[in-house]
Amino acid sequence: GKAVLIDIREKDERAREWIPGSVSIPLSDWRNADLSPYKGKRVVVHCRSGNRTMVNAALFTGAGLGEAAFLEGGIEGWRDAGMPVQRNAKAPLEIMRQVQIIAGGLALAGGLAGYLVDPAYALVAAFVGAGLLMAGTTGWCGMARLLRHMPWNRQPAA
């Protein structure tokens, strides 16, 4: 029979673009998800680029599903191959891209102001760098947590 396509990206990533007919089971929910509808079925698991899928392959193959396969290159590879995707351009950018834009802007502004106006402004860039370093080493990102509560990110998912 037909394989079930499971998208493991988080809801904020899927909100802008998804493969028609795919099922959303975010990686963060995987261990608690009800997988019973997919038991014994062939499944194809995908993420954005294929990396998260491969890193967590044992989680999917050990879930008691039928045959589990992985979409090489993720949704990016699928799109690049000319396969159909659905888009919602009104959905906000995914949280991590928002973090990158804001952190990059703050670091740039702090660095320039430190050079052009007063060396004390360089502390803005240092503060942002410390936040990014903490996020990378611990997996906890304060800016991402804050952004999730912003009004533009609280729209109902499609």
Q: Kindly list the catalytic residues.
A: 47
DSSP bridge pairs for 5: 44
Closest of 59, 67, 6, 50 to residue 31, by C-alpha: 59
Closest of 152, 150, 42 to residue 92, by C-alpha: 152
3-state secondary structure 99-128: HHHHHHHHHHHHHHHHHHCCHHHHHHHHHH
Token pair recorded at residue 67 = 């045959």
CA 63 – CA 71 distance, rounded (Å): 17
Q: What is the DSSP letter of 31?
A: G
**Residues in the chain, how many?**
158
